[in-house]
Amino acid sequence: MESGAEELMPRLLPVGDCDLAEDFDPTVPPRTPQEYLKRVQIEAARCPDVVVAQIDPRKLKKKQTVNISLSGCQPAPEGYSPTLKWQQQQVANFSAVRQSLNKHRNHWRSQHLDSNVTMPKSEDEEGWKKFCLGERVYSDTDALSDNENLGIDYMKVGFPPLLSIVSRMNQATVTSVLEYLVSWFGEKKFTPELGRWLYALLACLEKPLLPEAHSLIRQLARRCSEVRVLEKNKNEEQISALNLIICLVSRYFDQRDLADEPS
């Protein structure tokens, strides 16, 4: 190897003069450390100083297009943009909920679940969707059963995010369930059942966020802004719930580019 190349790429394993057998053949597998290092030197010396890529110029004549999504949330409908004071109050309330949850997590985790509560495994996407949303919302049907008045059937209406339930969920499960619900929400309407679980899962997310959680909450905020704009009847309660999720993602979890501009 030329001395100029060695100055640019100093040897990490310098090899001094060593006694190699007269019949040393660099094409056969090395038998000693000295033969191995010598073989590496010989191969490096044979590499060209400059390598030129073979590019077909005809492929460069076509217009190259790269799509990068840098968009934030869509603005709230006129008259429904939350005030800065309201957003600050929601962040303060949410912070208090998180502190209380962390403080009493061990207590709630030790509480026995009702016999009818069977939490799905972390990887059971369909199971978690039905568990959180209920078969009625999951199946997109409003049909009522004949025994509706006999009591609440949580398999139909979904289990609420009770502290005794969410306290048993580790971060991997929290992130997985959040992913399942955000994916479902991407093609479905917003419901109170979904809103309650999204709020609870956000309260369980630990900071600093893992990359997958970071991506999920941004996706969630954007979807909330889309649904908010498409809301035909402008249901104030639903828009307020969507505003709340966007507020928490943007202002509590520091995704400020997604925040609503104060009205």
Here the tokens at position 104 are 């009493």
Whole-angstrom distance between the N-terminal and C-terminal Cα of the chain? 69
pTM of the predicted model as reported, rounded to 2 decimal places: 0.69
pLDDT in tens, 164-209: 999 999 999 999 999 999 999 999 989 999 999 999 999 999 999 9
Report how far residue 74's alpha carbon sits from residue 86's, in angstroms, rounded to the nearest whole number: 19
DSSP 159: -
**In the chain, pLDDT over 70 holds for what percent of residues?**
79
> What is the spatial distance between Cα 170 and Cα 172, in angstroms, rounded to a whole number?
6
Q: How far apart are CA 108 and CA 121, in angstroms?
A: 19
Q: Is the CATH number 3.40.50.300 carried by domain 84-141+152-258?
A: no
